[in-house]
Amino acid sequence: MNSLAVLKGILLILALTMDSFVVSFAYGVSKTKMPFGIVVCMNLLMSTILGTAIFMGGRLAALLPEGVTGRLGFLLLFGIGCYRLFSYFLKKGEEESEKVKALNLLEGLGLAFILSLDSIAVGIGTGLVQSGQVMLVIGSFLAGIAVMEAGWMLGHGTRHILNRDLSWLSGVCLLLLAIGSLRG
């Protein structure tokens, strides 16, 4: 594998894990704990989906009309973002709890699936033309865990420093992520 292929792989991994960072940051801000085991399970699912898309390549491309995964990802992220914003404004009158919520396995796997929709498109696009698919899947798994942990810590730390209810920020982050998915 030459250095250009390695650079392409690193850039691809960064692109695929950036949304995980943003979502994890949003969860940290909203005081929703992401247990390490669930983060690992989420990244195992996301990497499996990426690997399947890469290895299936052209076969999956024939099943999915162009742009469907991007539109579906937008709708899901936009919906979750709107829900988070509305939840913030609806609970405004309630006293804020200092209790930290925890993401459960089912919510984590659902979120992992949503975050994997772009991996399907990327995997299909790169599956037939890029070498080093196994390294790409392993790199995506390890980088995904690292960026999710870093995103949560940064979000949680930011909330702690500001000492304000920033749960609305998770909605804004998800809306921005949804809008960004439209740009391709």
Number of domains composing the chain: 1
* Residue range of the domain that includes 159: 3-182
Q: If phi over 0 gives left and psi between -120 and 50 gives alpha, with beta otherwise, what is residue 3?
A: alpha
- 101 φ, ψ to 5°? -80, 165
What pTM was estimated for this model as a whole? Answer: 0.69
Q: Tell me: the pLDDT tens digits for 79-112?
A: 777 776 777 777 655 545 556 678 888 888 888 8
Q: What is the structure's pLDDT at 126?
A: 61
- pLDDT, greater one: 27 or 74: 27
Q: CB 66: neighbour CB atoms within 10 A?
A: 8
- What pLDDT, in 10s, does the model give residues 53-75? 877 765 655 666 766 666 666 77
